[in-house]
A and B are shown apart, each in its own frame.
Chain A
Amino acid sequence: MDKPSPTRIPQTTPRKSATFDDYSLSEIRRAAATGIYDIRGAGAKRKVPHFDDLLFLGASVSRYPLEGYREKCATNVTLGTRFAKKPIELKIPITIAGMSFGSLSAQAKEALGRGASIMGTSTTTGDGGMTPEERGHSDILVYQLLPSRYGMNPVDLRKADAIEVVVGQGAKPGGGGMLLGQKISARVAEMRTLPEGIDQRSACRHPDWTGPDDLEIKIQELRELTDWEKPVYIKVGASRPYYDTALAVKAGADVVVLDGMQGGTAASQEVFIEHVGIPILAAIRPAVQALQDLGMHRKVQLVVSGGIRNGADVAKALAMGADAVSIGSAALHALGDNDPALEAEYEKLGTVAGAYDDWHEGLDPAGITTQDPKLAARLDPVAAGRRLANYLAVLTLEAQTIARACGKSHVLNLEPEDLVALTVEAAAMAQVPLAGTSWIPGKNGF
């Protein structure tokens, strides 16, 4: 009897492992070739429960909407009403997050200032001090006090409109930083008091305080230094939001800034970005609960960040109890980061538009995350600032549209009652009912 031809035996299709997927395999090969963990910019890229898992209910028989384009829906927010003599008045509830000169070009910092100022909101310095460009082009500027204290000085402290004590950030709660030598130009080195071209490490702990009791005294010093004029923010990466918020209030913060794991970084380990910290969706309600338990909700303002993309995200964050949101990665995209028009140049860097995250290497063809003068010159700060202003305007209009549909005359009047969740996980995290039910996981014994 003839043997069956091998070609006639049905074959299973090649099957790749769900566990050892293409990305995991490529990372194993990269690690084996280099012996160094992967460092990159941006925030968590894995899919995590997010604002997309929430929906607004809108008006109905029992709720009355406001007329779009006719009836007022205010967007102004005041930050720093607890202790500061001069609180910050924002026209929109969207601020620009801390990003350093060093990680970003001077042109990018200027563009952020221009765009934010057009819309009446604030920008924030970063690890490396305050540049004249960003002070000059930002009507409202928040000055960060970071563990490294690079460029920190009392003159700039007094020029600032608010002070943000950075305890951590969402991309790497508990981690310090590393700005690779390619971006330590002469100017960056001088501002940071470091030799040019070396890999610059940023500490993860502040040099002169440890724990919330010390932090309270540190904040007292900052207030005394600035004659109690300026709001003091405390920024934390989202990890233990209930306790961190409570302790920030105890330490004397005017504003708590809470950054989820999707929040970007200039340069951190991939393993840190993807595996430490929690999504912003999971962090907001515990933080608001802490404020409410202390009787400080709306007295100490809550600013949240990490993955804000559109006006719906803004509205959802506010409805969950935040007073404002902050954007970093989205602002860079509005300036022109990862633009498909630069696809050919991204390909030369071994990536594609939309995925470029090697911000630490300083080769950004968009001229944003670089210190190369030729690349940086590609970014027109006036035009890029206009794009950012346009984008901020759209976010605001979208948030207003939703707020009006929910019958709110101010975006801060949005509330959890306006929301439902599409998934059990999101319902549990956001503490709102699963859509079509009255079930909030963890509530009423279920």
Chain B
Amino acid sequence: MTLVDLAATPLRELNAALHALPQDTNDTRWTIRNPRGQHAVAVGIDAPIAVEIEGHVGYYCAGMNQQASVTIHGNAGVGLAENMMSGEVHVTGDASQSAGATAHGGTLVIGGNASARCGISLKGADIIVKGSVGHMSAFMAQAGNLVVLGDAGEALGDSLYEACLYVRGKVASLGADCVEKEMTEEHKAKLATLLAKGGVNGGVDVGDFRRYGSARELYHFKIDNVGAY
């Protein structure tokens, strides 16, 4: 196990070391101490390693992650795991705005709540939020899944494309072109898989969730929809 203390090691050195790892590295377990809210911690990893971050992180932690499993024992700032391509990112506490923004692949698990715009422009990743999400979550989300065990704020799924949204609690309001859809057995099975990926095993009934998706009315510009623009 490699231990990096960010109280003593410059962030640039840490990230450069992570980027230098070969695909077949034996150095697969990393612990990062004293992140102290620094930004861009463990960004751009592209190796099958596990990284444990002990403490709170600032903006863009694990941004553009590939392959790695990154766990933050604390809270995360804006843009957690933004544009992630693959791998897993798990924050045990809360996440600020734009968690999982534009993420193409992989799994993001948020143990607490996520602020506004969670999953904005999502492009294929799975996001599981054990608490609630703020307003404009999944705005223009294109592909992937957002699972919320708590409530969702205003304008959920505004201008949604093909991403699937599952919410167990209350939805303050749906955004333009986002509608509730039937929760079929197929969707329940898919949701169960997503919950398992998020470490939610038992105690949660998939039947308590409602599914939301795109009405696809804004896919082509129509003057009769002008009120939605």
Query: Which A residues fall within an 8 A CB radius of B?
Result: 34-36, 148-149, 152-154, 157, 178, 180-181, 192-195, 198-199, 201, 203, 207-209, 214, 217-218, 220-221, 224-228
Please measure, in the bound complex, the distance between the C-alpha atom of A228 and the C-alpha atom of B143, giving whole angstroms: 31
Does A193 lie within 8 Å of B104, measured CB to CB?
Answer: yes
- Pick 28 A–B contacts, CB within 8 A, sort by A: A149-B101, A149-B121, A149-B123, A152-B83, A153-B85, A153-B104, A154-B44, A154-B83, A180-B221, A181-B219, A181-B220, A194-B142, A194-B161, A198-B219, A208-B97, A208-B98, A208-B120, A218-B60, A221-B39, A221-B59, A221-B60, A224-B12, A224-B15, A224-B43, A225-B40, A225-B64, A227-B16, A228-B12
Contact B43–A225 (Cβ < 8 Å):
yes
Whether B178 is near chain A, meaning CB under 8 Å from some CB there, is no
| Residues from chain A with Cβ under 8 Å of B15 in the complex | 224-225, 227
Is the CB–CB distance between A199 and B219 below 8 Å? yes
Is there an interface contact between B221 and A178, defined as CB atoms closer than 8 Å?
A: yes
Q: Are B43 and A148 touching (Cβ within 8 A)?
A: no
Q: Which residues of B contact A195 (CB under 8 A)?
A: 161-162, 219
B83 near A149: Cβ-Cβ < 8 Å: yes
Q: Is B94 located at the chain interface by the 8 A CB criterion?
A: no
B43 to A221, Cβ gap below 8 A?
A: yes
Prevailing SS type, chain A contact patch? loop
Asked if residues B102 and A208 are in contact (CB atoms below 8 Å), the reply is yes
Please tell me if the beta carbons of B44 and A224 are within 8 angstroms of each other in the complex: yes
CB distance from B80 to the nearest CB of A (A): 9
B159 within 8 A of A: yes
- Shortest C-beta distance, B228 to chain A (Å), equals 12
> When the two chains form their complex, are residues A203 and B140 in contact, meaning their CB atoms are under 8 A apart?
yes
From A193, A194, A199, A220, B220 is in contact (CB under 8 Å) with A199
Beta-carbon contact of B219 and A224 below 8 Å: no
5 nearest A-B residue pairs (beta carbon):
A208-B79, A225-B44, A149-B102, A154-B64, A198-B219
Cross-chain contact A224 with B11 (CB below 8 angstroms):
yes
Q: Which residues of chain B come closer than 8 Å to A192, judged between CB atoms?
A: 142
Cβ of A209 and Cβ of B78 under 8 Å apart?
yes
List the B side residues contacting A34 at CB < 8 Å: 223
* Interface presence of B117 (CB below 8 A): yes
The residue in A203, A208, A226, A228 that gathers the most chain B C-beta atoms within 10 A of its C-beta is A208
What is the 8 Å Cβ interface bit string for chain B, positions 188-221, against chain A (1 contact, 0 not)?
0000000000000000000000000000000111
Instruction: Name which residue of chain A comes closest to B214, CB basis.
Output: A195
A141 to B205, CA, bound (A): 51
Chain B residues, CB < 8 A from A193: 104, 123-124, 142-143
CB distance from A252 to the nearest CB of B (A): 12
Is A207 touching B101 in the complex (CB atoms < 8 A)? Answer: yes
Are A198 and B220 also in contact (CB < 8 A) when A154-B44, A224-B43, A225-B63 are? yes
Cβ–Cβ contact A221 & B63, under 8 A = yes
Chain B residues within an 8 Å CB radius of A148: 121
Name the residue in B16, B59, B143 with the highest tally of chain A Cβ atoms < 10 Å from its Cβ.
B59
Judge whether B85 and A154 touch: CB under 8 Å: yes
Q: Does B134 contact A (CB under 8 A)?
A: no
Most buried by B among A152, A207, A217, A227: A207
Q: Does A217 lie within 8 Å of B121, measured CB to CB?
A: no
> A203 to B117, alpha carbons, bound, how many Å?
13
User: Complex formed: what's the CA distance from A208 to B79 in Å?
Assistant: 6
- Further 12 A-B residue pairs, CB within 8 A, beyond A199-B220, A199-B221: A149-B83, A152-B83, A153-B85, A154-B85, A157-B64, A193-B123, A201-B140, A201-B159, A208-B120, A209-B78, A218-B59, A221-B40
Report Cα–Cα, A208/B81, bound state, in Å.
11
Q: Which residues of B contact A207 (CB under 8 A)?
A: 82, 98, 101-102, 117, 120-121, 139
Question: B19 near A: Cβ within 8 Å?
Answer: yes
What residue in chain A is nearest B65 (Cβ atoms)? A154
Report the minimal beta-carbon distance from B213 to chain A, rounded to whole angstroms: 13
Given A149-B121, A195-B162, verify A36-B66 contact (CB < 8 Å): no
The closest CB in chain B to the CB of A147 belongs to B121
Cα A154 to Cα B63 with chains together (Å): 9
CB contact between A154 and one of B11, B46, B226 (< 8 Å): that residue: B46
Q: Could you tell me if A208 and B220 are in contact, using CB atoms closer than 8 angstroms? A: no
